[in-house]
Amino acid sequence: MIYIGAEEIVSPLGQNTEENFRAISENRSGISLVALAGFGNESVHLSKINFVSEQNKFEFLLIDTLSKTISSIDSCIVSSKKTIVVISSTKGDLDRNISNPFEESIAALVKQFHLVHEPVVVSNACISGVLAINAANNFIKAGLYDHAIVLGCDLISDFVLYGFQSLFAVSQAPCTPFDANRSGVTLGEGCAAVVLSNTKEIFENTPLQFLSGTSANDANHISGPSRTGEGLYRSVKKTLEQNHLAAEEIDFISAHGTATVFNDEMESIAFDRMKMNAIPLNSLKGYFGHTLGAAGVVETAVSMQMMRSNILIKSMGYSESGTSKPLNVITENTFSELNTLLKTASGFGGCNASLVIRKL
């Protein structure tokens, strides 16, 4: 059995998991209007970490988050030869070195924690986080490692913000996933971690069970979501089949929900094809913004907290259905026994990924 636990989050909402989960349980968002931040000095809503210096911020967040993560597992694990660190990120620290955006930060991480193996960086657009967790599970299942620490981190940079602005994909107001009035993404930054292991005893707090996950490509368009939800449908179907799960065994879905018109519509079609319309679902982008390569890890970590507390957290920004297929978007925090989670992600390049976690 593969276990997952020791979830850690650093975001504008807090410096650790507890602060972050308290904030979202109180339905507080990390998004605020940042004056003159955008291209042409446009003021833009962002979920930006202000308590960390901009200098080498990526490196700082990786080291800070990993330090906090390993304080709740057996202290020997991080520098064990049976441990791999998997990092998920789209752009790393591109302001530091655009030609090599990971090298310096990761070298510092390796040095600081005496990592035995060179970390693997998964850079697969917005599915990076979910894919990295799946890869971590695969590495352990294959017997290559006993433990894997997944660190997801991405920053807000002019580069990424101007890029999304050039695509007219940035929302004027804080993003509103799955809502009728949604009009694009709000960018966010954050760093999160989860630990996977074949040994339950390494965790200070009871871990959850990691079942497995898969990915699938839409084979449709590099920057436009599939109109049939093909890749997401295939990935979710494959993940459920691999784990001999029926759709109705899923207690809630942590969806991707970027709040662009086409992405959320695509997700609704894929979930409809899976007959998952009635399953409670949220997008956490209204709290954290879209943290890109970190999103899958941030949102998995939060979902694990939801499972531990048996609470469905409302999907921030949602008030009126805005997809052609009905979804059961969570509108109020609700106590509910949560045993099995489906986490999904989709991204540029037509990529989609999903994973399933179950309570022990």
Half-sphere exposure of 264 (CA within 13 A, CB side): 31
Output 206 or 242, the one with its CB closest to another protein. 242
- Select from 66-74, 90-98, 277-285, 319-327 the region that touches another protein (CB under 8 A): 90-98
Half-sphere exposure of 109 (CA within 13 A, CB side): 29
Q: Taking Cα atoms as reference points, which of 170, 197, 204 lies closest to residue 289? A: 170
- Select from 64-72, 97-105, 324-332, 335-343 the region that touches another protein (CB under 8 A): 97-105
Using an 8 Å Cβ cutoff, are 109 and 67 in contact?
Answer: no
Contacts (CB under 8 A) with another protein, residues 264-293 = none
Residue 174 sits in the site that holds another protein (CB under 8 A): no
Output 171 or 176, the one with its CB closest to another protein. 171
Output 167 or 278, the one with its CB closest to another protein. 167
Residue 101 sits in the site that holds another protein (CB under 8 A): yes
Residue 7 buriedness (CB in 10 A; 0-12 / 13-18 / 19+): buried
Residue 124 sits in the site that holds another protein (CB under 8 A): yes
Q: What are 235's two structure tokens? A: 């990935």
With CB under 8 A as the contact rule, the residue among 31, 44, 85, 131 that binds another protein is 131
Q: How far is the CB of 318 from another protein (least distance, A)?
A: 28
Residue 121 sits in the site that holds another protein (CB under 8 A): yes
Output 194 or 216, the one with its CB closest to another protein. 216
d(CA 177, CA 181): 9
Residue 312 sits in the site that holds another protein (CB under 8 A): no
Residue 1 sits in the site that holds another protein (CB under 8 A): no
With CB under 8 A as the contact rule, the residue among 26, 99, 324, 337 that binds another protein is 99
**What does the radius of gyration of the chain's CA atoms come to, in whole angstroms?**
18
Output 28 or 108, the one with its CB closest to another protein. 108
Contacts (CB under 8 A) with another protein, residues 27-46 = 39
DSSP labels for 266-316? HHHHHHHHTT-TTSEEE--HHHH-B-GGGHHHHHHHHHHHHHHHTEEPP-T
Residue whose structure tokens are 């017997």? 143
CB atoms within 10 A of CB 212: 17
Q: Taking Cα atoms as reference points, which of 351, 309, 326 lies closest to residue 273? A: 326
Residue 8 buriedness (CB in 10 A; 0-12 / 13-18 / 19+): buried
With CB under 8 A as the contact rule, the residue among 34, 37, 116, 120 that binds another protein is 120
- Select from 10-18, 165-173, 306-314, 329-337 the region that touches another protein (CB under 8 A): 165-173
Using an 8 Å Cβ cutoff, are 255 and 267 in contact?
Answer: yes
Residue 177 phi, psi (nearest 5): -55, 140
Contacts (CB under 8 A) with another protein, residues 204-263 = 214-223, 230-231, 234, 238, 242
With CB under 8 A as the contact rule, the residue among 19, 118, 204, 320 that binds another protein is 118
Contacts (CB under 8 A) with another protein, residues 323-352 = 347-351
d(CA 170, CA 187): 8
Output 75 or 99, the one with its CB closest to another protein. 99
Q: How far is the CB of 166 from another protein (least distance, A)?
A: 4
**Residues in contact with another protein by the rule CB under 8 A:** 39, 90-92, 94, 98-103, 106, 118, 120-125, 131, 135, 138-139, 141-142, 144, 158-159, 162-167, 214-223, 230-231, 234, 238, 242, 347-351
